[in-house]
Amino acid sequence: MNALLQELIDHLDLDRLEANLFRGESRDIGSARVFGGQVLGQALIAACTTVEERIPHSLHAYFLRSGDFNAPIVYEVERNRDGRSFSSRRVVAIQHGRPIFTMAASFQVPEAGVEHQSTMPDVPGPEGLQDIETYAAGEKEHLPEKLRRYLWSRKPFSFRPVQPIDYLAPQKREPRKQIWFKAVDKLPDDPNLHLGLMAYVSDYDLLTTSTLPHGLAFMQGNVQMASLDHAMWLHRPFRLDQWLLYDCDSPVAVGARGLSRGSVYTQDGVLVASVAQEGLIRVWNEPRPS
């Protein structure tokens, strides 16, 4: 297996300290803090470990503090309810004695019911599209070291944007984009691992959808962005080692916050997950120190 993908899987494999207490390590992906998707993925796997014969259908999370990737994170799971059809869990991620993240997740016994879904947008498939690293490669010498590390640390997944990316001088355009993604190697069949990886990857590039109408260039050093919350609804089974389309849009940005939404489709058009995230977006007149 690809070494970086195996490293990510190892970080999602939590140490169980007690029945409802888990510990996870962090990956340095080139950002100044723990990647929010990592905490989402680890928290969801911790919650899944305490539930039997039920699958998660939704989670709602808040990012409270920046995480330190040099220290472990402890996940405390509270078993709120186990009913006949649904189970509810609350997870608190703790680091240096303080909560940095909270999440509520709901699980359901599989059952049949009415079905409908939105239609996948008509976009080119992943075959023939350039990987995101290709766009960055042509501008590598002009990008700051911090951004280069962030862009080149994504190798556990392959990302292929439908729309071209300009990191140096982005043009203003409508707040919608699509990107294909999948793990770079075949994954084990463990369903909890695929759920954790979906939570992990769903935090990539979602918030930046809110910046598209404003043509913000992050390398200029005058933009601050951070995830504030994250919600995800899981509709159908999926595999992260097969191509998935992330269709993202942003209906509003106001009050130094942007709201972005995402729909995840399989290549044959099946909607498997929906995502929403609000994030902090601050723009200063002058660049600030990193």
For the chain, the structural domain boundaries read 3-109+128-283
Any catalytic annotation for residue 227?
Answer: yes
pTM flag (> 0.85): yes
Condensed to tens digits (0 to 9), the pLDDT of residues 198-208 reads 999 999 989 99
203 labelled catalytic: yes
β partners of residue 265: 245, 271
Could you confirm whether 277 is annotated as catalytic? yes
The single residue of 87, 227, 250, 260 carrying the catalytic annotation is 227
d(CA 142, CA 122): 34
Q: What share of the chain is helix, strand, coil (3-state, %, to 5)?
A: 20, 35, 40
Q: What is the pLDDT along the chain (290 residues), one digit of tens a residue?
A: 899 899 999 999 999 999 999 999 998 776 778 999 999 999 999 999 999 999 999 999 999 999 998 999 999 999 999 999 999 999 999 999 999 999 999 999 999 999 999 999 999 999 999 988 777 666 666 666 666 666 665 579 999 999 988 877 889 999 999 999 999 999 999 999 999 999 999 999 899 999 999 998 766 678 888 999 999 999 999 999 999 999 999 999 999 999 999 999 999 999 999 999 999 999 987 655 55
Inter-axis angle of helices 36-49 and 3-12, nearest 10: 50
pLDDT tens by residue, 230-275:
999 999 999 999 999 999 999 999 999 999 999 999 999 999 999 9
Query: Active-site residue among 95, 203, 210, 274?
Result: 203
d(CA 86, CA 178) in angstroms, rounded, equals 33
- Assigned CATH topology for domain 3-109+128-283: Porin (2.40.160)
Check residue 30 and report its DSSP letter: S
Tokens 């590390």 -> residue: 149
Select which of 38, 178, 210, 277 is catalytic.
277
